[in-house]
Amino acid sequence: MAKANLGRRDFLKSAGIATLSLAAIGAGVGYLKKLHASDSKNLLRPPGARDEKDFIYACIKCGLCVQICPVGAVKLADIDHNLSYGTPFIDAREQACDFSCGALQCTETCPTSALNFYKFKDVGEAAIIEYVKEHPNAYQDPEFNPIQYQADKMHREVRMGIAKLNPSSCLAVQGKGFHGTPREQGFRGVYLSVNQGDKEACPVNDHHFDREICDLCVTECPIGDTAIVMKKTEENGAMHFRPEVLEGCTGCGVCEMVCPTSQASIVIVPKNQITEKGGEL
């Protein structure tokens, strides 16, 4: 009997210590969560990411999205990003998401739906139904590729963030052209350029540009003229140029990656930063 009591006392003592340490961990996490609210806004999350408050627990940090990405755009954050440790993000300047995977594979692979695929799936299916309604003979048409068509419609629904121009360094705003390869030597980023007729993702510096007025962000955009256009205005007989970001911008970051100025003149503002300010995305 005495021995049993001793065992129980021993257990209660260790359990007390355990509870205290758990409470300390809880308090620490609570504190970090407060810091995190502002910290995590700077991360550009992969396509379909839920709002940060849900995303942070929905993501189990398995890294399947990292592994499936064919261009290696998705990376895992380290503890310098606070509680985001182990969660995926995209560094668009280093490697943007160029949608060359075809069907938002990172989103599709996510087992916990932290990257929400349902939204895109519905859009894709609806688009196909719509198309077949309009073109009753679509499936007899050898040109029609339903998978490609669906994927294309799905990409356009992505809203990771939105591109923002920095006019003070933009070459087009200054009326300058661009000749050569966009990025510094040894840059390893790749993307699929629809404009250059690429079949698969190629290194950024494999593309050579000769532009009287630099418009790389406009021509290389995988979404096209619903996302960004070159606005031309005439003033006192001189032409003024300015890339303008439109509603269709997905925040993929290809413009940021190909921007030839030493500091990107167009950068992606992550969704979390915008929605916090009350904007809808």
Stretch that binds another protein, among 96-104, 107-115, 218-226, 247-255 (CB under 8 A): 107-115
Stretch that binds another protein, among 112-120, 189-197, 202-210, 249-257 (CB under 8 A): 112-120
Residue 187: C-alpha distances to residues 78, 112, 190, 204, 217 (Å): 23, 34, 9, 8, 18
Asked if 38 is part of the footprint of another protein (rule: CB under 8 A), the reply reads no
Asked if 174 is part of the footprint of another protein (rule: CB under 8 A), the reply reads no
* 43 or 170: CB nearest another protein: 43
Answer for which of 6, 51, 54, 125 binds another protein (CB under 8 A) is 54
Could you tell me if 162 and 281 are in contact, meaning their C-beta atoms sit under 8 angstroms apart?
yes
How many other CB atoms are found less than 10 A from the CB of residue 226? Answer: 13
Could you tell me if 51 and 281 are in contact, meaning their C-beta atoms sit under 8 angstroms apart?
no
Of residues 9 through 28, those in contact with another protein by CB under 8 A are 10-11, 14-15, 18-19, 22, 25-26
Q: Closest approach of Cβ 103 to another protein, in Å?
A: 15
* Residue the block writes with tokens 């406009």: 218
Asked if 119 is part of the footprint of another protein (rule: CB under 8 A), the reply reads no
What are the residues whose beta carbons fall under 8 Å from the beta carbon of 115, sequence distance 6 or more? 45, 46, 47, 48, 49, 50, 65, 88, 106, 107
Q: What is the DSSP letter of 51?
A: P
Classify residue 227 by burial, with Cβ atoms within 10 Å: 0-12, 13-18, 19+.
Answer: buried
Asked if 188 is part of the footprint of another protein (rule: CB under 8 A), the reply reads no
Count of residues making up the chain: 281
* 34 or 135: CB nearest another protein: 34
* 28 or 180: CB nearest another protein: 28
Distance CA 22, CA 31 (A): 14
Classify residue 1 by burial, with Cβ atoms within 10 Å: 0-12, 13-18, 19+.
Answer: exposed
Distance CA 107, CA 69 (A): 10
Residue 63 CA, chain-centre distance (Å), reads 15
Q: Closest approach of Cβ 205 to another protein, in Å?
A: 23
Q: What is the DSSP letter of 101?
A: T
Count, residues near another protein per rule CB under 8 A? 41
Answer for which of 39, 41, 56, 202 binds another protein (CB under 8 A) is 56
Which pair of tokens denotes residue 208?
Answer: 């050579």
* 21 or 145: CB nearest another protein: 21
Asked if 239 is part of the footprint of another protein (rule: CB under 8 A), the reply reads no
Of residues 62 through 91, those in contact with another protein by CB under 8 A are 62-64, 66-68, 76, 78-80, 83, 85-86
Q: Closest approach of Cβ 187 to another protein, in Å?
A: 20
Q: Closest approach of Cβ 46 to another protein, in Å?
A: 15
How many other CB atoms are found less than 10 A from the CB of residue 128? Answer: 16
Asked if 1 is part of the footprint of another protein (rule: CB under 8 A), the reply reads no
In degrees rounded to 5, what are phi and psi of residue 15?
Answer: -65, -35
Q: Which residues bind another protein (CB under 8 A)?
A: 7, 10-11, 14-15, 18-19, 22, 25-26, 29-30, 33, 53-54, 56-58, 60-64, 66-68, 76, 78-80, 83, 85-86, 109-113, 116-118
